[in-house]
C-alpha cells in the first residue's frame, strides 16, 4: 500500500468524484498509522453525529493507554503504524487480480469459487451478483419489520436504537482491541428483529458484501426483541485476502426475553492476519444465545465469544472449531457468565493442530452468587496430527454459588496410527484418511452449520490437510 499524506476530507469533492466514478487514489483512504486526525477523518467521511465522534475519540485515548494483553498469543508482530485504518470500498478495487499471491488464487480454483465471487473475496471488485438476491431478501425482511443493514447506515438511519446499545456490552475499555475497533470501526452489520418475529432464512453478511461487510474493523450489533429468532452467518469458507495485517472486530448481541439468536462464523482470513475479535452477547430471561465459531485461517486468532446470562432460565452455548496448521496459533475459547438463577451453558470446543501449529482453548465459566440451580458444562477436545504440533487448555472457573453444577472435560488425542491404517487398508491415502478422521472429529459441530457451509468447511479442511494451501 502506497504511503500517502493525510488529507482532510472534502465531502463535496467526494460526491463529485463518486458520481464520475473516479478510480484510485481516493482521498478516502486514511494514511498509515493511527492519530486523532485519522479518527476525525473517518467520522467526517461517514458524516457521523458528534456522539459517535466523541465515542471514537474517547476510545482512541483508551487504546493508547492500554497495553497489549500479556497472555494468549504472541502479538509482538503487530505494527500499529503500518496499518491503514480506513479504506473505502471503492479503494479496494484498486488492487488487481494479478497482484494476488498465487496460493490464494490456487485455493479459489480448488474450492471452485465462481469468478465474480473470487474477485470480490480477493478484494479486487466490489461488484457481486448476489446483490440481486440481497435485494429480494431485503424486501421479505422489510415486510417483517426486520432491519438488516450495514452499521454505517444504521448509525444514520436508526440513531436512537443504535445509541441505546452500541458499546454497552463491550465498552471501549474492555480491552485494547475493543478500544481500537471503537475508534476506527467501519462497516459490519446491524440487525434488528422485532418482538415475536422469527427469521427463517439465515442472514448472511455474504448478501451485502459490497457494503463493506468484510471490513477489517467491522462492528456488528444484533438486537433480538422478545420471543424473536434470527440466525446470522458471517464470513465464508473461501480465504479472504487483504494486505492489511490486522482484523479487529466487535460484535454485540442483545437477546431479549424468550428470544433466540444463533451466530455462526466461518473465519478463513489469509495467514498474514492477526485476527483479534471481541464478541459478547447478553441473554435475558429464558433467552438462548448460540455462538458457532469456526476458525481455520489467520496467522494468530484470539477470540472468546461470551454470553452474559442475565435473566433467569437463560441458556448460552458456544460450539467452536479451530484448525491450526503451519505457523498458525489459534487461541480461541468461550466465556460464560451465569448471573441469574437456573441459567445453563454449554461449551464444546474441538481443536486440531498439524505441521507445528498451535491450538489453545481458553475459557472462563463464572457462576455468580445467587445464580442458584445453574448448570455449566465445558468439553474441549484436541486432536494432534503430529509430534511437532501443540495443544493447550486454559480453563478458568469461578464458581461462587454452591447450589449450582459445573462439569469440565478435556481430552487430547493423537491421531491414531491404527485408525489411519484401517482407513488406508480400504484404499484411502494417508492425507485423505487424516482428513476423514479430522472431519469425523469435528462432525458434532459441523452438523450444526447450514449444509452449504458445512460441505465447504469439510472440503476446506481437507485441502488444508493436503498442505495445498498457503
Sites of contact with other proteins (CB under 8 A):
416-419, 421-430, 432-433, 436-437, 439-444
Characterize the bridge pairing of strands 300-303 and 274-283. parallel
In the complex with other proteins, which residue's Cβ is closer, 34 or 463? 463
For 135-140, which contacts have Cβ atoms below 8 Å and span 24 or more sequence positions? 137/201, 137/207, 140/201
Which region, left, alpha or beta, applies to residue 145 given φ > 0 means left and ψ of -120 to 50 means alpha?
Answer: left
CA nearest neighbour of 335 among 313, 361, 366? 366
In the complex with other proteins, which residue's Cβ is closer, 16 or 422? 422
Concatenated DSSP letters of 1-56? ----------HHHHHHHHHTT--SS-S-B--BS--HHHHHHHHHHTT--HHHHHHH
Residues 6+ away with beta carbon under 8 Å from 455: none
In the complex with other proteins, which residue's Cβ is closer, 65 or 386? 386
**Least distance to other proteins from the beta carbon of 438, Å?**
9
Cβ atoms of residues 107 and 151 within 8 Å: no
**Least distance to other proteins from the beta carbon of 395, Å?**
23
**Least distance to other proteins from the beta carbon of 458, Å?**
10
**Least distance to other proteins from the beta carbon of 249, Å?**
30
**Least distance to other proteins from the beta carbon of 163, Å?**
46
**Least distance to other proteins from the beta carbon of 179, Å?**
40
The three-state secondary structure class of 147 is strand
In the complex with other proteins, which residue's Cβ is closer, 176 or 350? 350
In the complex with other proteins, which residue's Cβ is closer, 98 or 417? 417
Angle between helices 11-19 and 36-45 (to 10 degrees): 50
Biggest alpha carbon distance in the chain? 70
In the complex with other proteins, which residue's Cβ is closer, 196 or 440? 440
Amino acid at each position: 500500500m502506497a504511503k500517502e499524506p493525510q488529507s482532510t476530507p472534502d465531502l463535496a469533492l467526494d460526491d463529485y468524484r463518486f458520481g464520475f466514478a473516479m478510480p484510485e487514489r481516493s482521498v478516502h483512504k486514511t494514511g498509515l498509522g493511527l492519530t486523532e486526525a485519522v479518527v476525525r477523518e473517518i467520522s467526517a467521511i461517514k458524516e457521523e453525529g458528534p456522539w459517535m465522534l466523541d465515542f471514537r475519540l474517547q476510545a482512541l485515548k483508551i487504546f493508547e493507554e492500554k497495553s497489549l494483553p500479556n497472555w494468549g498469543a504472541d502479538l509482538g508482530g503487530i505494527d500499529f503504524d503500518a496499518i491503514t485504518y480506513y479504506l473505502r470500498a471503492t479503494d479496494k478495487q484498486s488492487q488487481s487480480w494479478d497482484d494476488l499471491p498465487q496460493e490464494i488464487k490456487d485455493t479459489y480454483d480448488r474450492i471452485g469459487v465462481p469468478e465474480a465471487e473470487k474477485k470480490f473475496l480477493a478484494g479486487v471488485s466490489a461488484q457481486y451478483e448476489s446483490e440481486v438476491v440481497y435485494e429480494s431478501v431485503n424486501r421479505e425482511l422489510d415486510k417483517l419489520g426486520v432491519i438488516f443493514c450495514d452499521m454505517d447506515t444504521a448509525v444514520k438511519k436508526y440513531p436512537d436504537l443504535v445509541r441505546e446499545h452500541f458499546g454497552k456490552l463491550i465498552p471501549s475499555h474492555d480491552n485494547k482491541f475493543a478500544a481500537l475497533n471503537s475508534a476506527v470501526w467501519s462497516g459490519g452489520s446491524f440487525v434488528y428483529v422485532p418482538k415475536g418475529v422469527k427469521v427463517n432464512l439465515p442472514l448472511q453478511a455474504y448478501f451485502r458484501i459490497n457494503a463493506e461487510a468484510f471490513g477489517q474493523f467491522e462492528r456488528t450489533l444484533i438486537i433480538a426483541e422478545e420471543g424473536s429468532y434470527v440466525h446470522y452467518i458471517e464470513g465464508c469458507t473461501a480465504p479472504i485476502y487483504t494486505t492489511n495485517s490486522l482484523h479487529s472486530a466487535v460484535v454485540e448481541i442483545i437477546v431479549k426475553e424468550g428470544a433466540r439468536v444463533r451466530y455462526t462464523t466461518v473465519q478463513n482470513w489469509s495467514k498474514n492476519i492477526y485476527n483479534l475479535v471481541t464478541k459478547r452477547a447478553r441473554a435475558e430471561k429464558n433467552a438462548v444465545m448460540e455462538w458457532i465459531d469456526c476458525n481455520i485461517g489467520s496467522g494468530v486468532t484470539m477470540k472468546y465469544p461470551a454470553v452474559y446470562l442475565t435473566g433467569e432460565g437463560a441458556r448460552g452455548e458456544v460450539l467452536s472449531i479451530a484448525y491450526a496448521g503451519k505457523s498458525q496459533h489459534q487461541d480461541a475459547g468461550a466465556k460464560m457468565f451465569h448471573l441469574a438463577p437456573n441459567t445453563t451453558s454449554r461449551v464444546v470446543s474441538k481443536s486440531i493442530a498439524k505441521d507445528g501449529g498451535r491450538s489453545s482453548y481458553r475459557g472462563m465459566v463464572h457462576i455468580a452468587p445467587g445464580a442458584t440451580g445453574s448448570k455449566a458444562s465445558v468439553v474441549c477436545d484436541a486432536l494432534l496430527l503430529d509430534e511437532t504440533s501443540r495443544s493447550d487448555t486454559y480453563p478458568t472457573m469461578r464458581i461462587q454459588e454452591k447450589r449450582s453444577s459445573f462439569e469440565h472435560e478435556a481430552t487430547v488425542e493423537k491421531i491414531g496410527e491404527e485408525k489411519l491404517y484401517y482407513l488406508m487398508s480400504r484404499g484411502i491415502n494417508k492425507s485423505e484418511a487424516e482428513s476423514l478422521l479430522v472431519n469425523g472429529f469435528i462432525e458434532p459441530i459441523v452438523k450444526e452449520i447450514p449444509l452449504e457451509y458445512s460441505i465447504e468447511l469439510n472440503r476446506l479442511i481437507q485441502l488444508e490437510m493436503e498442505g495445498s494451501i498457503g
